[in-house]
């Protein structure tokens, strides 16, 4: 990434005014290039594997796994963009590639647009998954009428089109605080909606579980309802873990944006901004953690992975 805030999405402002008015005893934390490259390459391989598994196994052609596949695809976009950028920077540092000022700026803008697209798409996919889980748990009898594959495809088309269209102007006009405010508001509004859905799901599920437990024992129907709801809640728990991972990996960057707007020259804020490369590594790690959660929590995906590698 470059350092001009007007042209870069993720870097600190480094204008001469900022340099002369800001003083801090906190040195900038540097992450070695091999770490960035390894995380990017590994997350790229993992997310491509998830996408391939969902496409390969017809049993995974359901709305929930389509949304999971969308999340993995957005992670793939981010991983591919950062891996290509890191490789280009390494070649440039080694003298194997000459980077002119305009070409470097254009490359940074493309990478920033893809990262912005990946962020908005990831949280939109997680939100879609949360809504799907809610319908699965509390409208089970009408689920297949509500969440048809056609509607799922329409939702995914809207998400991908909107993310692709909005990413470019967001990067182009990022120098204006309005864009930063929009991103921060979108982030926290999405978190609030997802938290509300999950809390509501778990509270109602607890009430339903107590009612089922109060029914006369020995009924096969009661066992079937408990098993089905237990499976659905396990899926909701998996997505709660996904949401928590997203929050941990992306929240530091949005705190970085808030600090950038509120105190761009304060030395104490500069100490937090000195951790910028660590925030970028956390963002990249999100694409690395998600597939591990899928593989660990989803028996169907684990089975698909084994068949893909052992066939």
**Residue 259 included in any domain:** yes
**Residue 6 included in any domain:** no
Q: What is the pLDDT of residues 153-211, one digit of tens each?
A: 999 999 999 998 888 888 888 888 888 888 888 888 888 888 888 778 777 767 766 77
**Residue 251 included in any domain:** yes
Domain that residue 60 falls in? 33-310
> What CATH number has the domain bearing residue 158?
1.20.1070.10
Taking residues 68-83, what's their average pLDDT? 89
**Residue 216 included in any domain:** yes
Determine which of 3-17, 51-65, 80-94, 264-278 has the lowest per-residue pLDDT on average: 3-17
When divided into structural domains, the chain yields a total of: 1
Q: What is the pLDDT of residues 263-274, one digit of tens each?
A: 877 777 888 888
**Residue 99 included in any domain:** yes
pTM, to two decimals: 0.78
Q: What is the pLDDT of residues 89-129, one digit of tens each?
A: 777 777 766 666 666 667 778 888 888 898 889 889 988 98
Query: According to the model, what pLDDT value does residue 155 have?
Result: 95
More confident residue, 73 or 263: 73
| Average pLDDT value for the chain | 78
Taking residues 249-265, what's their average pLDDT? 83
Taking residues 247-273, what's their average pLDDT? 83
**Residue 142 included in any domain:** yes
**Residue 27 included in any domain:** no
**Residue 67 included in any domain:** yes
DSSP string over the chain: --S-TTT-SSSPP--HHHHHH---S-PPP---HHHHHHHHHHHHHHHHHHHHHHHH-GGG-SHHHHHHHHHHHHHHHHHHHHHHHHHHHHHHHTTSS---HHHHHHHHHHHHHHHHHHHHHHHHHHHHHHHHHHHHHHSGGGHHHHS-HHHHHHHHHHHHHHHHHHHHHHHHTTTSHHHHHHHHHHHHHHHHHHHHHHHHHHHHHHHHHHHHHHSPTT-HHHHHHHHHHHHHHHHHHHHHHHHHHHHHHHHHHHHHHHHHHH-TT-HHHHHHHTTHHHHHHHHHHHHHHHHHHHHHH-HHHHHHHHHHHH-
Query: According to the model, what pLDDT value does residue 109 have?
Result: 80
Query: According to the model, what pLDDT value does residue 18 have?
Result: 39
Query: According to the model, what pLDDT value does residue 153 have?
Result: 94
Query: According to the model, what pLDDT value does residue 102 have?
Result: 67
């Amino acid at each position: 990434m470059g350092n001009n805030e007007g042209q870069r999405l993720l870097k600190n402002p480094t204008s001469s005014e900022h340099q002369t008015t800001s003083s801090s005893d906190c040195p900038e934390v540097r992450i070695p290039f091999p770490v960035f490259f390894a995380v990017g390459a590994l997350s790229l391989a993992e997310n491509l594997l998830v996408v391939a598994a969902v496409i390969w196994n017809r049993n995974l052609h359901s709305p929930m796994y389509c949304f999971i596949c969308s999340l993995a695809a957005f992670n793939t976009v981010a991983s591919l963009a950062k891996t290509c950028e890191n490789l280009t920077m390494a070649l440039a540092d080694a003298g194997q590639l000459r980077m002119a000022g305009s070409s470097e700026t254009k490359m940074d803008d493309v990478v920033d647009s893809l990262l912005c697209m990946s962020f908005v798409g990831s949280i939109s996919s997680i939100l879609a998954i949360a809504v799907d889980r809610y319908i699965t748990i509390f409208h089970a009898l009408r689920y297949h009428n509500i969440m048809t594959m056609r509607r799922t495809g329409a939702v995914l088309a809207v998400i991908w089109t909107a993310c692709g269209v909005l990413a470019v102007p967001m990067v182009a006009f990022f120098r204006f605080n309005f864009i930063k405010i929009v991103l921060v508001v979108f982030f926290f509004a999405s978190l609030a909606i997802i938290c509300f859905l999950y809390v509501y799901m778990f509270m109602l599920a607890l009430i339903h579980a107590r009612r089922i437990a109060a029914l006369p024992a020995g009924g096969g129907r009661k066992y079937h309802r408990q098993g089905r709801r237990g499976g659905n809640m396990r899926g909701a728990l998996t997505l709660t873990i996904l949401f928590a991972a997203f929050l941990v990996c992306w929240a530091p960057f949005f705190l970085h944006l808030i600090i950038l707007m509120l105190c761009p020259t304060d030395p104490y804020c500069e100490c937090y901004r000195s951790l910028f490369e660590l925030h970028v590594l956390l963002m990249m790690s999100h694409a690395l953690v998600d597939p591990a959660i899928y593989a660990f929590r989803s028996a169907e995906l684990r089975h698909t992975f084994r068949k893909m590698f052992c066939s």
